[in-house]
Amino acid sequence: MSIDRAQVLAWMDEDPDPETREELQALLDIDDEAGLEDRFGERLEFGTAGIRGALGAGPNRMNRALVRRVTAGLADRLNQAAGAAGARGVVVGRDARHKSDAFAADAAVVLAGAGLGVWKFSDIVPTPLVAYAVRTLEAAAGVMVTASHNPPADNGYKVFGPGGRQIVSPLDEEISAAIDAVESLNDVPLAQPDDDLIWTVPADVPEQYLSQVVALVGGPAERRITIVYSAMHGVAGAMCLRALDEAGFIDVHAVAEQFEPDPDFPTVSFPNPEEPGAMDASIALAQEVEADLIVANDPDGDRIAVGFRTAGGYRMLTGDEIGVLLAEDILARGAMTQGRTPAVATTVVSSSLLSKVAAHHDAEYAETLTGFKWLAVAAIDAEDRDAIMVLSYEQALGVCVGDLVRDKDGISGIVAMADLADRLAADGRTLGDLLDDLTIRHGAHVTQGRSVMLEGDDGEVLVQAALDRLRSNPPTSLGESPVIQVWDHDAGVVTSADGTVEPIDLPPTPLLRYVAEDGTRVMVRPSGTEPKLKFYGEAVHHTKSNDPTAARHAAAGKVGAVLDAFMARAQGGAKV
């Protein structure tokens, strides 16, 4: 594919950033066809999570010209939807990544230029605060400039709809179409930065958020535990420490070298608490101060990591363990219900343990597609039934505690986990002891994830071939247990071993799920952004000797073996 030089020059003419104009001029000067094709061959895709990618010039990179174009499309869609959108305004926040300040400023002047009011934060903020502000200010939408826990070279643009929840289809397609309809940026009206339509988010909004986070755990109390906290070079540090302090946690030690926002993330190879090595500095400090609890946010503050002290050191919890521990605690205490029926929710690729915890406490349970955009829908559905979502989570370290926001919130999640650990400590117990209780009651539920990249020119073809292979020749057993259900979420049907076929009450998505008689499950789906297959496995093992450690070890061995065999089958090798 050859890129038209006139197309590049036209983009440069509209680009307000001298750095990216110079980048393109340098490529033109040396006739770098590959470099130009990489930047102009396609546009970064706008989806339900907004848009995200590497910084650089052209429509296939994150840059000021693209942000203006995306914002112009968003503004057009909002103005089409409701005449009141302008008065309600759009909340705009940003993290501390490279170019985030410029992107947020561009978003504000484009929105105001389109006649929309703009509620703009004056400084860096964590993502949950933007979601909260959209809901509290009853804004028409929200924009958060962030790439969450992506590498330093990336940035992104996340869109919240009314109520502060992520957008869902078909709104993402409608916004994407509006973006494509923007002809020339030179014709997009821009307001001045001090325009009357650009307002500062009231100072009482973050104060209200903090007070409501503390209220989730019953307010300040006398605390016993020592905590280590890492902000992972992100923007949640100051607010999270304030929330912990106002909840009564005074013995908190921040990882100093990771506390200040730094877009280069110098102490970690990948700024994601799930990645190997990301929590090493936190564990080292915890050992030094003999901390009871380790907590961390990802760079934009919407995810959490949690670890606790054991006899042999520190153990980091999985996302599933964090979710079920919080659910067990909230439901057992009858907390956060506001007099309504409690509900909990998670996603199809998370552990099935949450459903059993919910049943034990007579709570409603919902299972959604992956992503908090769908968990927010479940919260709204619960509200329509006069129930209340007290806890929702996804296995990738995202939790939403209570009904404060309609997205994952790493700040309230950390305060809730600290509160739970502190109350357990008062009884001489730990998070590990509560996990043991759940294992004895419901069996050990161990989840593992794997992925395989099918690279090359035909990578996407290989991904589809693997899914087709599983559909045409599904496994009849997982390990030693026969398969009793096959869920084809793309076709929207679940087929039982007796041949019964029933519809799946979820939107279609390319996901296959296999459930065995003993509770073992395997799920596979393609990545939405690269030629990769993602595998999710879960094994359940019931202890007969009240030995939760042995039960977890047995379940871990089972799920690992099943995943190895299943991955081989998907790629045309050994059978399960």
The residues annotated with a catalytic role in the active site are: 148
Pairing of strands 444-453, 398-401: unpaired
CA distances from 47 to 149, 161, 175, 318, 333 (A): 18, 13, 9, 27, 39
Report how far residue 553's alpha carbon sits from residue 549's, in angstroms, rounded to the nearest whole number: 6
| SS3 assignment, position 467 | helix
Other beta carbons within 10 Å of 78: 22
How crowded is residue 384: how many other Cβ atoms within 10 Å of its Cβ?
A: 8
Q: What angle do CA 259, 265, 268 make, to 5 degrees?
A: 95
Name 388's Cβ contacts closer than 8 Å, sequence gap at least 6: 336, 337, 338, 340, 341, 342, 343, 382, 403
Closest by Cα among 156, 166, 143 to 90: 143
- Own/partner pairs, 347-350, CB within 8 angstroms, 24+ separation: 347/371, 347/374, 347/375, 347/394, 347/395, 348/489, 348/506, 348/511, 348/513, 348/523, 349/394, 349/395, 349/511, 349/523, 349/525, 349/536, 350/319, 350/320, 350/323, 350/393, 350/394, 350/395, 350/447
Cα distance between residue 131 and residue 302, in whole Å: 10
Residues 290 and 227: their CA atoms lie apart, in Å, by: 9
> CA-to-CA distance for 573 and 576, rounded, in angstroms?
10
Pick the closest to residue 497 from 486, 505, 489 (CA basis): 486
Name 197's Cβ contacts closer than 8 Å, sequence gap at least 6: 86, 112, 115, 116, 117, 118, 191
Phi, psi of 296 (to 5 degrees): -150, 150
Token pair belonging to 173 = 């397609």
Angle at 225 between CA 220 and CA 231, to 5 degrees: 85
Task: Decide: 415 and 301 in contact? Cβ < 8 Å.
Answer: no
CA atoms within 13 A on the CB side of 401: 33
CA-nearest of 108, 93, 100, 14 to 57 is 14
The answer to whether residues 208 and 201 touch, using CB atoms and an 8 Å cutoff, is no
Residue 190, helix vs strand vs coil: coil
Provide DSSP, 269-323. SSS-TTSTTTTHHHHHHHHHHT-SEEEEE-TTSS-EEEEEEETTEEEEPPHHHHH
Residue in this structure with the two tokens 């343990």, named with its chain if needed: 353
- Can you list the alpha helix ranges (DSSP code H) found in 118-196? 127-136, 171-180
Q: Report which of 52, 149, 127, 95 is spatially closest to residue 408, judged by C-alpha positions.
A: 127
